[in-house]
Amino acid sequence: MVKISIGMPIYNVAEYLSKCLDSIINQTFTDFEVIMVDDGSTDGRSFEICQEYVERDKRFRLIHQKNGGRSAARNTALKNMTGEYITWVDSDDWIEDDYFERLIRTQERTGADMVCIGIKTFMNNEFYMGSHQDKYGAFPGHVIPKKIGMSDIFWGIYALISVWGNIMDAKLYKGVVFSEGIALDDQGNKFKLFLQSEKIVGIPELGYVYRIRSGSITQDGVTNFEKIFEGKVMQITNLEKSMYYIENANYEVDYFHSLYSEWLDKQLQSVDSGWDDDQQERYRSFVLKHRKLFKKRLVKRG
């Protein structure tokens, strides 16, 4: 059994893929496997680049499948992982040379089943340093309370919503399947892992580089009203799903109900003034509908 299994969904990223894979090969910590899942790439080079790294390094494995989306690729990777710890690196991002070294050594020192590290964003050829990692210092021993970590699904204060930027004990993934066919797949799945975690530690340093690129899911999601609205629909769908899981787990239910109510109210206060009247009304009506439905659920629960 290797120490770390690295999962990597791949789809049409030939321009960025070698930098990502090289950053893994250059790691100071070497006890890992890389499960690359080519999710039906059509760019003619992504799959070939993956093959080159498989031939170059026996720790790299390649699986090709029909395009099913990023969550489907993650599920395929999970089925083929053998590591004691699981992590993800998105194929257009990259990691610092001692990224895994820092994560593993922190886990060994603290006994945490989830260890997170700060991220920096790379966009338009510039780095934007994260400030969230400084906030880990607010917690004794950098141990992040579970409900605080889970609440990042609403506000993103600690950059803990993503499945990348951390290592997790493989046991946390027992019984976990990524919901497929959704955008914002991190938000729609990460809470499942938080619910199973016992100890979360944050490293107050930067180690993961998150690339925002033209054509990425994130970048495309902010280009016009229709895409913003589509993203908000998916965000609310994911949050309501998380409420369902939290209620069934009977975990801090009142706390998360309060957060969700507050979050819905904030959405009504943040309508973009650049939208026309019809767009603003459509957005408000959608949020109001879900706020009303949520309040009915609270009344029904007593």
Looking up residue 119, the CATH number of its domain turns out to be: 3.90.550.10
Pair (123, 163) in one structural domain: yes
Q: What are the two backbone dihedrals, phi and then psi, of residue 137, each rounded to the nearest 5 degrees? A: -65, -15
Pair (30, 126) in one structural domain: yes
Pair (117, 258) in one structural domain: no
Q: What pLDDT does 302 receive?
A: 67
Pair (237, 265) in one structural domain: yes
Question: What is the pTM (predicted TM-score) of this model?
Answer: 0.92
Domain range for 23 is 4-217
Q: How many CA atoms lie within 13 A of 279 on its CB side?
A: 13
CB neighbour list of residue 50: distance below 8 Å, 6 or more residues apart: 10, 17, 36, 38, 60, 62
Residue 75, token pair as written in the block: 């599920």
Pair (198, 289) in one structural domain: no
Pair (245, 120) in one structural domain: no
Residue % of the chain over a pLDDT of 70 = 96
Q: What pLDDT does 214 receive?
A: 63
Residue 283, token pair as written in the block: 């957005």
Pair (22, 113) in one structural domain: yes
**Domain termination site, one of 217, 243, 276:** 217
Amino acid at 283: Y
Pair (127, 227) in one structural domain: no
- Residue-wise pLDDT tens digits, 207-262: 999 999 764 444 443 458 888 898 889 999 999 999 999 999 999 999 999 999 99
**Domain termination site, one of 171, 192, 217:** 217
Domain count of the fold of the chain: 2
Task: Quote the Cα angle for 253-85-200, to 5°.
Answer: 35
**Domain termination site, one of 202, 217, 232:** 217
Q: What pLDDT does 238 receive?
A: 92
Pair (129, 253) in one structural domain: no
CA atoms of 227 and 225, how far apart (whole Å): 5
Q: How many residues does the chain have?
A: 302
Q: Which contacts (CB < 8 Å, 24+ apart) does range 290-293 have?
A: 290/236, 290/240, 290/264, 291/261, 291/264, 291/265
Which residue, among 197, 186, 112, has the nearest Cα to 152 in the 3D structure? 186
Pair (22, 51) in one structural domain: yes
SS3 letters for 39-84?
ECCCCCCHHHHHHHHHHHCCCEEEEEECCCCHHHHHHHHHHCCCCC
Q: How many CA atoms lie within 13 A of 209 on its CB side?
A: 20
Collect the ranges in the chain with pLDDT lower than 50: 215-222
CB distance 69 to 180 below 8 Å: yes
Pair (194, 54) in one structural domain: yes
Pair (51, 192) in one structural domain: yes
